[in-house]
């Protein structure tokens, strides 16, 4: 069974810092890797989707990379802002979607 891990569980950074969130998965036979944002009491919002044939995707200040061979994906957030504070989850798609437990990010003004 696919297992997805996100470390650290929580991260606190000062505003303006660049940061990297990590996602690792045990089975490299995935169709895609998707990053989500979840605000407290809300649903999951899709941020970036990386197809298995791709190495990275970018949207604004966000850049996600995928290395299937090592079972890793990273989400890079440039020039972090307090509004980026949220929980970030990754999901690996195989025959189902397998989720990590997320990294809770706090950006301190």
Q: Which residues bind another protein (CB under 8 A)?
A: 31-32, 34, 36, 41-46, 49, 89, 91, 93, 95-97, 99-102
Query: Least distance in Å: CB of 51 to another protein?
Result: 9
CA geometry: angle at 36 spanning 33 and 39, to 5°?
165
How far apart, in whole angstroms, are the C-alpha atoms of residue 42 and residue 14? Answer: 24
Distances (CA, A) of 61 to 12, 48, 55, 58, 77: 18, 12, 17, 8, 6
Length of the chain: 109
Comparison of 65 and 98: residue with beta carbon closer to another protein: 98
Query: Least distance in Å: CB of 65 to another protein?
Result: 18
Comparison of 69 and 95: residue with beta carbon closer to another protein: 95
Query: Least distance in Å: CB of 11 to another protein?
Result: 17
């Amino acid at each position: 069974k696919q297992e997805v891990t996100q470390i650290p569980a929580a991260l606190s950074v000062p505003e303006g810092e660049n940061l990297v969130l990590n996602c690792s998965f045990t089975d490299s036979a995935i169709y895609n890797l998707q990053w989500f944002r979840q605000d407290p009491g809300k649903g999951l919002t899709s941020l970036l989707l990386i197809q298995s044939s791709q190495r990275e995707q970018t949207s604004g200040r966000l850049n996600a990379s995928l290395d299937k061979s090592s079972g890793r994906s990273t989400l890079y957030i440039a020039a972090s802002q307090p509004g980026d504070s949220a929980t970030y989850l990754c999901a690996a798609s195989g025959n189902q979607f397998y989720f990590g437990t997320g990294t809770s990010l706090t950006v301190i003004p």
